[in-house]
Structures are given as C-alpha cells and as structure tokens.
Amino acid sequence: MTDAVISRVTSAVTLLKAPHFGDARGWFTETYSERRAESAGIDVRFVQDNQSFSAATGTVRGLHFQRSPHAQAKLVRCVRGSIMDYAVDIRLGSPTYGKWVGAKLTAEGCEQLYVPVGFAHGFVTLEADVEVAYKVSDFYEPDCDGGIIWNDPTIGIDWPLPEGGAVLSDKDNILPTLAQFESDFEYNGVPLQPLTGI
C-alpha cells in the first residue's frame, strides 16, 4: 500500500499522483477525492467528465481552453497508454504569460495534471490507442470554445512527435497564434512554476 503523493508546485498548475494499491489480482486506484484535491490547493467543483480515444501515436489535441463566463479548470489523467500533457499560461499580465509546463501521464503511474482557468491545455499521445479522461469545472459551451495553435514558435513546446509528425484535427490545425489571441483571463498573482516530482 502506498500513500498519495502530491507535488504542489503553485496554486496554478498542480501535478498529483493518485494512491495505487496492487496485489496478485492487479491494482486499484482512487481516481478522484475531493479531500485529496483540496489538500493540494484544488478548490473547484467538477461538473462534467470527458474522455477521448486517439488511435495514432503523435495525435495532438490542443491547445484548448474555454472563455468566461464558462471558463473551465481541468483535472486530466491518462487511462490507457501514455501522453505528454501541457499547460500554457494565458493570463493577461502574468510574468509567465506564454510559458508552459509539461508532464508525462501514464495509465500505470496514475498521474494527474490539474490545469486551472487561465491556462491553455493540450497533449500528444506517446503510443497508439490512448485514452484520456478529464474532469471540468464548467459545462461545454461552443460559443466560449477557444484555442491557440499547438506549434506556435513563441510558446515553443518541444512536442515528442514520431517521424510522421503530428496527427491533428482540421479545427486544431487552424487555431490562431498567441500573438493573434486577446486574453480575457486575469493573472492571480502566482507565476507558473516548473513541475517536479515525476
């Protein structure tokens, strides 16, 4: 039996590892605990669960966010396979505006990335047949849907892609650059910090 490991990096982006219990039959994990989330500084109410399946290695989903009045915080985990998961600071006035952090999330490791309001989110699959599940703090509203192009050179995410390059949706392939984006997210006084503990 292992205890939950919490890597508290800021009140902005937080990396968690769920408790994981194994025996001869396999394993069990507690995928969400409000008490554990609150102890890590995550004080939001999640109202919807989403899940995606990506068939190809190198599938990129992002960089996405939802604007006010339906802005979403997310709690992301990989339930099959592995991904590199990213959060980009898009809070107006932030000293870390346009900067990013990333973490590898795996089904076996039970890691979770909390992405609060004010950050764009995206991930790339590191293998075939990957499933990702995430909780959100507000319902999906198409009129509030937003994004930034995944390969914006001013953001400079180092995506681990296979030889064939990224697999993208038509929508994600035509998102605006950070320079074309007008943020209405406010800086909360906490700059983005590097993720640690994984």
Catalytic residues: 64, 134
Per the CB < 8 A criterion, the answer to whether 88 and 181 are in contact is no
Q: Residue 8 has which token pair? A: 């508290």
Which residue in the block uniquely carries the two structure tokens 């990506």? Answer: 54
Q: How many beta carbons lie within 10 A of that of residue 78, not counting itself?
A: 27
Per the CB < 8 A criterion, the answer to whether 119 and 94 are in contact is no
Separation CA 58–CA 167 (nearest Å): 6
- The b-or-e profile of 85-100 (16+ CB within 10 A means b, else e) is bbbbbbbeebebbbbb
Q: Residue 3 has which token pair? A: 């205890």
